[in-house]
Structure 1
């Protein structure tokens, strides 16, 4: 059985201004377990992973393949397999390169659609995102998931957690399940996928996607805004916070009218400027790494976004550990959004 977070109770609700927290306790449901793991992963990346002697078991944990059975056994990933550290690191990186395609396959198996962008160039030259509908059309509630920087791609929060803990811990799949239960359509960005290898062997920039921020802006304009959603929530990890602030600056009016909640997990935000921070502050919580219980208010600078504890001390764990509180915050913000919209129509 995969690790599940215990039920927690907030003494302060993570919505509205920090001074408006009610005193009553609010129950938060446990983190949902991974789903559809019984489906067979048979892609090329899975075969390559087996070449390294590993496979994911039915609980989404990476395990050494038992030579006698050909199935995942009980031994977890082992980093130290060579006497030389550099060789071990190279082995780790080569194995980790299998992870993106495995996660892409799982996203599609679990009902997400791969959408190539830009649409006017051959697919092999384009990047892609994932959406819950083949073509989003006026979603009532839309959730946009934005990962961090580095090697992670669409569907991943932290590849180290995927390798050393489970797919539950390191991917967005539990977020997809919970979001669907709450009636959200979903967009999953792929902000670090910016280049393709050309026929002459050179790295070629993907038009409109040359950086994480330009990728996000293109996706936001052509898929989020173009779908004409009634309301939008964002969950962003690490550098995804900086990407979010850049979006808030570029699409200020859309954010003002449609974006009702921004949940950041240990965000590194330094794009967008103070105007974007001021605009986002009432609708944002940054769930930061901390040794305090989940949801504990953390003192933050007056010119920064409000912070609360993610319930874990390690950066890469924050999206997983804070998930129940993230959804509690988003749903409370949605209720406030509906009340505000109703009051405006009655004026």
Structure 2
């Protein structure tokens, strides 16, 4: 049943109502009854009647998609990019299909999380790079699912960072801050027979059981008719010590990063990942200052006032952090800020999700200069700071 067909039916009904309202008392009673009928119509439910089952493939191959040699997602038969509106007039189904495509690697298991590490992440004595993505549907190793599906892997994933980091002698740890819980289907409570049922005559018990079975059968049939695409009820089981991006960052710091052998630790944190880093620093200030050499933020949404970062933290961030923000200005041009923390410079793009990719080369240059500056009195200068603000403490 298409939207147009449903609309036509309702239009006819409303025309009939208009005609009835012009009549006498009998017609008005019919109008009232018709209004009552219309009030019970759930358009969303009607539209689900002919909606295809919400059952989708588990792999890219089954979706008939693959990444080509340029890292672009393309249909294996047509060679075309991903199409969101695969079925017209079925936005809900299209959205579910899109979400399923983005979750092809997801698994339902016991409540636990994971991170990715290079083989030398814990043993590299020199450099360690830590990557943190933003909030939302992205998972470990991704910057933006939209870019992965519509553009390519280079801009949408952390793969270029990982490759270059390993080439330049960094160990790498990829955080997974959005994997905070798993969803499991709610188990139905089994209805136990009443304690006094055994005292009832056998004939009465059989009749009652028969009535209950028939009632359940009718209810199940009605429920299937009313909402054939009803999604299963689920409950969220949060992962211990990883119930939020902030908790995840602290957990990985305590159990991995702080235990690593690297003399110089570097963070690249995008969007909400920047907020998670600031929270980590607030909770582990002395440790972070002692081990972290430089931090590259990309369009970070942190706020030192709301997060109540102290003066010492803000001063450290001014000297050791740089935030590449979405801006129409050329790459690395200084951008003014009202917050007294790390300098803000242009990422060379106005698209939030592209800031990590567009600032890629600048970030590595910033880290390289930070290592050199650590052994001298010269601080790294990765940006054009002729317009850099002078922050004052209040």
> Considering the TM-score relative to the shorter chain, is it more than 0.5?
yes
In structure 2, the CA distance between the partners of 1:334 and 1:185, relative to structure 1 (3 Å rule), is same
| Residue equivalent to 1:230 | 263
Contact 1:60/1:167 (8 A) holds in 2: yes
Q: Does 2:73 align with 1:87?
A: no
Which residue among 255, 261, 274 is the counterpart of 2:309? 274
Cα RMSD of the aligned pairs, angstroms, is: 2.3
Of structures 1 and 2, the one with the larger relative CO (CA 8 A, separation 6+) is: 1
The CA distance in 1 between the partners of 2:237 and 2:377, in whole Å, is 46
- Cα drift, residue 340 of structure 1: 5.7
TM-score normalised over the length of structure 2: 0.64
Q: Does 2:297 align with 1:286?
A: no
TM-score normalised over the length of structure 1: 0.72
Give the number of the structure whose residues are more often helix, by fraction. 2
Of residues 168-177 and 329-338 in structure 1, the stretch that sits farther from structure 2 once superposed is 329-338
Q: Does 2:387 align with 1:339?
A: no
Trace 1:144-163 onto structure 2 (pairs within 5 A). 144-163=130-149
Partner of 2:147: helix, strand, or coil? helix
Which residue among 74, 79, 82 is the counterpart of 1:74? 79
In structure 2, the CA distance between the partners of 1:55 and 1:230, relative to structure 1 (3 Å rule), is same
> How far does the alpha carbon of each residue in 1:289-324 deviate from its partner, in whole angstroms, 9 at most, with x for none?
111111111111252421001011100011111101
The CA distance in 2 between the partners of 1:162 and 1:297, in whole Å, is 29
| Residue equivalent to 1:173 | 159
The CA distance in 1 between the partners of 2:121 and 2:129, in whole Å, is 15
| Residue equivalent to 1:205 | 238
The CA distance in 1 between the partners of 2:243 and 2:102, in whole Å, is 23
Partner of 1:169: helix, strand, or coil? helix
| Residue equivalent to 2:220 | none
Partner of 2:146: helix, strand, or coil? helix
- Cα drift, residue 173 of structure 1: 0.5
Q: Does 2:255 align with 1:218?
A: no
Partner of 2:309: helix, strand, or coil? helix
Contact 1:100/1:153 (8 A) holds in 2: no
The count of aligned residue pairs is 270
Partner of 2:256: helix, strand, or coil? helix
Trace 1:47-62 onto structure 2 (pairs within 5 A). 48-62=59-73
- Cα drift, residue 46 of structure 1: 9.0
Q: Does 2:275 align with 1:265?
A: no
The CA distance in 2 between the partners of 1:135 and 1:327, in whole Å, is 18
The CA distance in 2 between the partners of 1:100 and 1:295, in whole Å, is 37
The CA distance in 1 between the partners of 2:66 and 2:57, in whole Å, is 7
- Cα drift, residue 203 of structure 1: 2.4
The CA distance in 2 between the partners of 1:186 and 1:228, in whole Å, is 12
- Cα drift, residue 281 of structure 1: 1.4
The CA distance in 1 between the partners of 2:270 and 2:327, in whole Å, is 15
The CA distance in 1 between the partners of 2:364 and 2:155, in whole Å, is 16
Partner of 1:236: helix, strand, or coil? strand
Q: Does 2:178 align with 1:192?
A: yes
Give the number of the structure whose residues are more often strand, by fraction. 1
Q: Highest CA radius of gyration, 1 or 2? A: 2
> How far does the alpha carbon of each residue in 1:76-124 deviate from its partner, in whole angstroms, 9 at most, with x for none?
11112222233322221121222668xxxxxxxxxxxxxxxxxxxxx84
- Cα drift, residue 125 of structure 1: 3.3
Trace 1:99-178 onto structure 2 (pairs within 5 A). 124-133=110-119, 136-137=122-123, 139-178=125-164
| Residue equivalent to 1:6 | none
